[in-house]
Amino acid sequence: MAHYRKINRNRKRPFFSQRRRGLSGVPLALFAGTILGICITLLALTFFYYDEMQGAALSLLGWAPTPTLFPSQHAEQGLVLYNQGDIERALADFEQAIQQRPNDVAYLYEYGRVLIEADQYELARELGERAIVADPDDPRGYALKARSLIWSDPGSAIPVAVSGLERDANFAPLHASLAVAYTNIGRYAEGYQRGLRATQLDPLDPFAHRAFSIPLIYTGRSSEAIAALEQAVAINPNHTAAYFELAGQYRRQNYQEMAVGIYRRILELEPGNAKAYLRICQTYAEVGEFLEGSRYCETATEIDETYAPAWQYLGQLQYNRRNYESALDSLERCVALGSVAVECYYIRGLAYYFLDQCDTAWRVLQEALQLTSQPSIIAIINEGLSGIRANCPGYENVRLPTPI
């Protein structure tokens, strides 16, 4: 039988006291560091993903309300829609985002960019100003405001963009806006340099390439401008603005067939785009196909009955085909919609003349004279007035309002 040494227990000490060792210095530091790291991570996640974490927490507790998108989700969805070319729905999402976070510069900037694509420059300018107030050191507010002004007030856009560059000298959209603004005030060399710099800083920004095309166009470098616009289209094939600009350059180079192909691409993206139908109408007219062009203009007016330029050009084509009654109907619609395009007046006056409505023709042609200073158009109007004097009773001795 084995013999074991008897354990002599000191009953004044706990039985397991020898096995309960305290944490040494190094493990304790590791433990404290781990806990601190977890706390910092949770704080960071809470800061950057507060909306999402709040929703998840409420769902776990069974308190979640009817699902509602948070501002970050609206903004993310708006950006996706924008890149897909769905401008209308993108605007709706960004509007929701800034309603919930009205001073978020990122949301204001992205919303403003979409507004510009929708030709809502004034509202984009207001958002740019709000972004500058929210964070004067963020270049995005200056870039948005400058871009909203480059066509309507390029002289004012320039100092805004320069102020933005003082915050970030390498922010490509500021250089892009300066490229357009400088070109629009005749400073072509500076416009070219700024446009080139924009494409170098951000070669994946479609706006940089579109802006670079402007000084190239104005300085007669059409092939390079077309290349820049083709690059913009290649980067984002879902934005119609670059397509319109590219097709316009094709037309200037007498590549009408290529231009029509681009407009048809726009209609694939936006089947109800009245402007694209109008541009096809005009392109056919440029090659003398007035009847085919008229069909596209008619479609444009059917899509948007308030689109005055479509009524104007339809009236011009109808007049060219000597369909004076239809031309009058179209041009009267143009005027009724508030257009002050001189074509809606002087062509209408000539149509009245050929329909032997001399009194109305004389009045409308005189109205047209008040709307233009172009010598070529004034000459056409005066020719019409001379025809009335020669062929309409009672006008033989009426003095012409301007020299022939």
> Is residue 312 domain-resident?
no
Residue with tokens 């100092």: 159
Residues 124 and 203 in one domain: no
Of the three residues 111, 144, 168, the one that is the final residue of a domain is 168
How far out from the chain centre does Cα 180 lie?
Answer: 15
> Is residue 400 domain-resident?
no
Within 13 Å of residue 86, how many CA atoms lie on the same side as its CB? 11
Residues 227 and 148 in one domain: no
Among 210, 206, 205, CA closest to 226 = 210
> Is residue 182 domain-resident?
yes
Residues 216 and 148 in one domain: no
Q: What is the pTM of this model?
A: 0.75
Local structure of 138: helix, strand or coil: coil
Give the integer Cα–Cα distance in Å for 271 and 114: 20
> Is residue 43 domain-resident?
no
Residues 108 and 181 in one domain: no
Interacting residues of 274 by C-beta distance below 8 A, sequence separation 6+:
300, 301, 303, 304, 307, 310
Burial class of residue 27 in the structure, from the number of CB atoms within 10 Å of its CB (0-12 exposed, 13-18 middle, 19+ buried): exposed
Question: What domain range includes position 140?
Answer: 69-168
Per the CB < 8 A criterion, the answer to whether 278 and 297 are in contact is: yes
Torsion angle of the four alpha carbons 212, 215, 221, 225, in this order, in degrees rounded to the nearest 10: 30
Give the integer Cα–Cα distance in Å for 163 and 27: 54
CATH code (residue 212): 1.25.40.10
DSSP character at residue 191: H
> Is residue 57 domain-resident?
no
Residues 188 and 109 in one domain: no
Of the three residues 271, 297, 317, the one that is the final residue of a domain is 271
Give the integer Cα–Cα distance in Å for 70 and 62: 18
The two tokens of residue 216 are: 């190239």
Residues 115 and 187 in one domain: no
- The total number of structural domains in the chain stands at 2
What string of pLDDT tens digits covers the 404 residues of the chain?
444 444 444 444 443 344 444 444 545 555 555 665 565 555 555 555 555 555 555 555 555 555 567 877 877 887 787 777 777 888 888 788 888 888 999 989 988 888 998 889 999 999 999 999 999 999 999 999 999 999 999 999 999 999 999 999 999 999 999 999 999 999 999 999 999 999 999 999 999 999 999 999 999 999 999 999 999 999 999 889 999 999 999 999 999 999 999 999 999 999 999 999 999 999 999 999 999 999 999 999 999 999 999 999 999 999 999 999 999 999 999 999 999 999 999 999 999 999 999 999 999 999 999 999 999 999 999 999 999 999 999 887 777 765 54
Per the CB < 8 A criterion, the answer to whether 191 and 179 are in contact is: yes
Give the integer Cα–Cα distance in Å for 101 and 136: 17
> Is residue 84 domain-resident?
yes
pLDDT of 17 reads: 40
Give the integer Cα–Cα distance in Å for 195 and 204: 14
Residues 208 and 254 in one domain: yes
- How many residues belong to the chain? 404
Q: Alpha helix locations (H) across 49-187?
A: 50-61, 71-83, 87-100, 105-117, 121-134, 139-149, 154-167, 172-184
pLDDT of 42 reads: 57
Residues 256 and 226 in one domain: yes
Among 298, 294, 300, 339, CA closest to 320 = 294
> Is residue 110 domain-resident?
yes
Give the integer Cα–Cα distance in Å for 195 and 349: 45
pLDDT of 98 reads: 82
> Is residue 189 domain-resident?
yes
pLDDT of 18 reads: 43
Residues 153 and 242 in one domain: no
pLDDT of 130 reads: 96
Residues 227 and 255 in one domain: yes
Give the integer Cα–Cα distance in Å for 314 and 321: 11
Residue with tokens 């011009």: 316
Of the three residues 271, 304, 321, the one that is the final residue of a domain is 271
Per the CB < 8 A criterion, the answer to whether 160 and 146 are in contact is: yes
pLDDT of 15 reads: 35
